Amino acid sequence: MKKQRKRKKIEEPHSEQDHYLIRIKKGERLYKFYYFRPIAGRHYHFEYRILTKVRIDEMLEMVSYNFKIENGVPQKSSITRVPSISKEQLEEIVQNVVKKTNTSSDEFEELDLSGFSTIDEQIEFLKRQDKVNTMYMM
């Protein structure tokens, strides 16, 4: 009987497995990040996040998910990825979330990154705001 070799599974780097990240390709930039922080979930550091980037064709890509800290460990869940969306559609989505969740101004944060001309400037700004996990940056 022939002995079959087991195929060794090549593991992808952790950041390639994390579908919650937005990957920025050459010529793309970040657009806006939205954070919804309901008062009721603050002791869990619960947030609903919407992250967007401008693709080369000027359409947006959007990723949204729930974020909370459980036993000191960050948890992400309920991911939604929209590969192509207009700026108008994004604004409608954000307004619907605000309306349906009765979000007040102290429960909502919008980070507008569209004023920066390069991704490097955007990343430096996010670092200063403590809004980027450099562990996943390549």
Per the model's pLDDT, the better-predicted residue between 6 and 13 turns out to be 6
Tell me the per-residue pLDDT of 94-138, one tens digit each, with 9 for 90 and over: 999 999 888 888 899 999 999 999 999 998 998 888 877 655 555
Q: In whole angstroms, what is the distance from residue 110 CA to residue 105 CA?
A: 10
C-alpha 34/C-alpha 135 separation (Å) is 21
Which tens digits make up the pLDDT trace of 26-63?
999 999 999 999 888 777 788 999 999 999 999 999 99
Q: What is the pTM of this model?
A: 0.78
Terminal C-alpha separation, the chain: 46
Residue ranges of domains in the chain: 26-127
Average pLDDT of the segment spanning 81-103: 93
How many whole angstroms separate alpha carbon 88 and alpha carbon 93? 9
Tell me how far apart the alpha carbons of residues 44 and 55 are, in angstroms, rounded to a whole number: 33
